[in-house]
Structure 1
Amino acid sequence: MGSIMNCNLAVESSSRAFLSWKNSSAHYRRELFVQLAKLLREKEDEIKLLMQLEINCSSMWSTINVEDSIKIIEEAAALTTSLALNGIAPQSHSTSVQALILNEPLGVILGIAPWNSPLILGFRAVVAPVAAGNTAILKGSELSPRTHHFIASVFQEAGFPPGVLNFLVHREEDAGEVFKALIERQEVRKCNFTGSTPVGRLIASKAAMELKPVLLELGGKNYAVIFEDADLEQAAKLVLEDLVLVANSVMDAFREKLLSIFQGSAFDITISPVRMAKSAARIRGLVTDAESKGARVTELTTKSATLEHTVNQQDIIPATIIENMDTSMSFYSEEAFGPLLGIIPFSSQAEATQVIQGCPFGLSAAIFTRNHFSGLQMAKTLRVGAVHMNGATVHDESTLPHGGHGDSGWGRFGAGWGLEEFTHTKTVIMNE
């Protein structure tokens, strides 16, 4: 009952704030976002330590979270005065008519952020909606409540008016009830969610019943394709997760490059413990399943991340290469969220494309080749949100659109594309 009461209070507060926030000047909003970025920089050490303690992440990952969050905020500040929010005045067929196409904020936006990259994805869930003139409710993760609360607190300290951003967190077992209470409120006009595909399906179906749009970034079983003309050393350094498709002719050479990275000292690889014991058990289950079905499994020696607290050694999963993979193995179609690398050989570009197109996910892919034209032609055929040429599949920037296809969701975060997700167009036809 308390959770539902808090939901209603948050919606009512954000709804009241929307009445004035939507009419606030773009320059005023920009100044507030500039101050928000400044505060985050000042509090960098505080939030980095908090993340390391809360989600068992490395110092490097906490630093990436801070740096990328600042870039998201600064990009939003710049875009508050952009043409993306101003609308257009198209030419009418009649000289006595002038049409205006206005971009207007939607209302109250619900942003649901995960724990695994809590600062980046927490800010991403609410910065674009607020910059576009909406108010927002950040529904944080029960696994990173302090980090997500930190986001709300710096918004407040930066001077954003009360109600422009509200924060909610709840027990895991209350998730369905809380989401239902929020999405059924008329004032809540859209939801964005970053998380698993099964939960995304539930959110999308419930929102559809309320005729509410959603922006979803869901699971992404990313593929990297390594052609025979690729720089194998570069590729080996950049594909240390998920599934890799390797041309038969360079399979042995690629494997040697991969093993040399771990056996040598030229490339520094650090493994952090997973967040929960059940996650470690699930990852080990993927390895056991693959091995039982004929996969060749090789565990590699790396160093563990230096953390500010002690962890259970059972929660540290060794870097693992899984070879001789086939479609019967769970790892073929499930995200690991751990240091597992699967290798699948292929004999032609058509075969590699067929493997990727057979996957229901479509977040991103990578292509390693010196023939950029051939790589571009293949990139055009892949049903994914991003294709990384000679780069890692995890690359993302605040100036680029980010999202997936198929079971990886729909809609785009990032830059002007992200702001447009949280506006609607209104046509005004002016007659003489």
Structure 2
Amino acid sequence: MSILITRSPATGRELASYETHDEAGVDQALADVHAASVVWRNTPLDERLALLRGVGKVLTERKERYAALITAEMGKPITESLGEIDKCAWNCEVVADRAPEWLADHGIASGASRSWLSYEPLGVVFAVMPWNFPFWQVLRFACAALAAGNAALLKHSPDVTGCALAIEKLFVGAGAPEGLFRSLVVAAEDVPAVSRRVVEDPRVAAVTFTGSERAGSSIAAVAGAAVKKSVLELGGSDPFVVLADADVVAAATAAVKARFNNTGQSCVCAKRFIVHEDVADEFTERLVAGVGELRLGDPTDPATTIGPMARADLRDGILRQIQGSLTEGARLVVGGHAVKGPGSYVEPTVLDGVEPGMAVFAEETFGPVAAVTRARDDDHAVRLANDTVFGLGASVWGSAEHALAVGRRIRSGALFVNAVVASDPRLPFGGTGRSGYGRELSAEGVREFTNVRTMVVA
């Protein structure tokens, strides 16, 4: 057993210390959640969904407390943290309302036989979750898993350990049976070994992972060797394509939100702004003007729109990508530097003249930097948009049918025309390519954690 310390990304000061789970603690958590899964799978659906409604109610009642914890641990501006809790409560409501339809037996016409599909629980779902949306990432998997009749075991990012334990208590406070939702506290250096051990444990039936491409590949390899279902939501380098007939004012206004939400630390933030050369100057000018209106500062201040990056090493990584791209020929329009003083702050940054191969084009940029690349025509824009190993979301701006036609040629798990890419509990969410596989949210997300069983009665 060791001690895990969390720190404020805004000040660098220690927030809290926690005892980690040792080998015996991990085994006890596995035993508890497995025992709960046996009972929960036989619990009527209406009772399972009543728990979700209770979770949503507690989230709303304690919204300010939970939002303050998010902001303290990962630096999200407080207004965005409050919005994150609201979205979690909405997800609880959506799943509770629609799961009876999503999980209902599905009849199949098969001649003289009576045939149908039945969606049955798998058992224990092990979730490895990241720090950037400490409550949302967890609630979107947990609502689906628990509604389907599974139990949940969480290994959250060490940076947001307070959030992980608060979520465990949230479920208990909403009336969850003992052991139904458990959180493991694991130090960063022990995460690979503990994750491998848990995935390989026969009491675990499925794995869901959200995070980096490298870590996701490792988890998937272990799950594959153990022949266990896995869902991966990995990185993204989402294109934001502005066509010649786009409403440039609307596109540039939306671009600021699309790139700098959560201080740019989101897999679905627009990363690469691919703009037709006829409107590129106007778009870039308006984008820079919008960036100038952002307010960087104390994330607890409701007026702040850009907070610190979650850790110093993440700040250093985004600065490396910026400097490398400048060396390769990109042009710095605004920002580009760390902010002097305490905390892991980076100035909101816009780079122009970005080309394929440069760091901010080829790599995922998880921070407040927008990369503008100029396209000669639609075909060139599509080639640029598809010049990535990722395929999470894509946003295309132009006259509706024109933008839709161009967007259909771009590889992605989601396409938004004249809108910013965002997740919605009513719609499936996930990617293609190195952005992962499987879906979260909606009917598809709930059914990911089930055995789709064929039933035939002659």
1:322–1:213 CA distance, 2 compared to 1 (3 A) = same
What residue in structure 1 maps to residue 299 of structure 2?
none
Question: 1:75 and 1:4 mapped to 2: Cα distance?
Answer: 37
What residue in structure 2 maps to residue 406 of structure 1?
433
What residue in structure 2 maps to residue 287 of structure 1?
322
Answer yes or no: is 1:351 the counterpart of 2:380: yes
What secondary structure sits across from 2:135 in the alignment? helix
Query: What residue identity is the alignment partner of 2:352?
Result: E
* Gaps in structure 2 of 5+ consecutive residues: 2-20, 260-270, 296-302
What secondary structure sits across from 1:101 in the alignment? strand
- 8 A contact 2:272–2:361 mirrored in 1: yes
- 8 A contact 2:75–2:310 mirrored in 1: yes
Question: 1:344 and 1:332 mapped to 2: Cα distance?
Answer: 9
What residue in structure 1 maps to residue 313 of structure 2?
278
Q: Residues 308-345 of structure 1: CA distance to partner in whole angstroms, max 9, x if unpaired? A: xxx94462111111111122311112222211010110
What residue in structure 2 maps to residue 104 of structure 1?
120
Question: 1:146 and 1:79 mapped to 2: Cα distance?
Answer: 31
- 8 A contact 2:330–2:352 mirrored in 1: yes
What secondary structure sits across from 1:328 in the alignment? coil
What residue in structure 1 maps to residue 33 of structure 2?
14
Query: What residue identity is the alignment partner of 2:377?
Result: S
Question: 1:149 and 1:265 mapped to 2: Cα distance?
Answer: 33
What residue in structure 1 maps to residue 82 of structure 2?
63
Answer yes or no: is 1:80 the counterpart of 2:109: no
Answer yes or no: is 1:92 the counterpart of 2:120: no
What secondary structure sits across from 1:260 in the alignment? helix
Query: How is 1:239-318 mapped onto 2 (pairs within 5 angstroms)?
Result: 239-240=255-256, 241=259, 242-263=271-292, 270-300=305-335, 312-313=341-342, 315-318=344-347
What secondary structure sits across from 2:364 in the alignment? coil
Question: 1:271 and 1:319 mapped to 2: Cα distance?
Answer: 8
What is the deviation of 1:350?
0.8
1:9–1:263 CA distance, 2 compared to 1 (3 A) = closer
Query: How is 1:149-298 mapped onto 2 (pairs within 5 angstroms)?
Result: 149-240=165-256, 241=259, 242-263=271-292, 270-298=305-333
What secondary structure sits across from 2:158 in the alignment? coil
1:236–1:313 CA distance, 2 compared to 1 (3 A) = farther
What residue in structure 2 maps to residue 120 of structure 1?
136
Query: What residue identity is the alignment partner of 2:141?
Result: A
- 8 A contact 1:125–1:193 mirrored in 2: no
- 8 A contact 1:112–1:125 mirrored in 2: no
The sequence identity of aligned pairs, in percent, is 27
Q: Aligned pairs, how many?
A: 418
Answer yes or no: is 1:363 the counterpart of 2:392: yes
* Gaps in structure 1 of 5+ consecutive residues: 305-310
What secondary structure sits across from 1:81 in the alignment? helix
Query: How is 1:42-53 mapped onto 2 (pairs within 5 angstroms)?
Result: 42-53=61-72
- 8 A contact 1:296–1:322 mirrored in 2: yes
TM-align CA RMSD: 2.1
Query: Which of 403, 407, 412 in structure 2 is aligned with 1:379?
Result: 407
What residue in structure 1 maps to residue 448 of structure 2?
421
Question: 2:243 and 2:115 mapped to 1: Cα distance?
Answer: 52
What is the deviation of 1:300?
4.5
Q: What TM-score do the two structures reach when normalised by structure 1?
A: 0.92
Question: 2:321 and 2:411 mapped to 1: Cα distance?
Answer: 26
What residue in structure 2 maps to residue 308 of structure 1?
none
Answer yes or no: is 1:430 the counterpart of 2:457: yes
- 8 A contact 2:70–2:81 mirrored in 1: yes
Question: 1:168 and 1:350 mapped to 2: Cα distance?
Answer: 48
The structure 1 segments of at least 4 consecutive aligned residues displaced by more than 6 Å after TM superposition are none
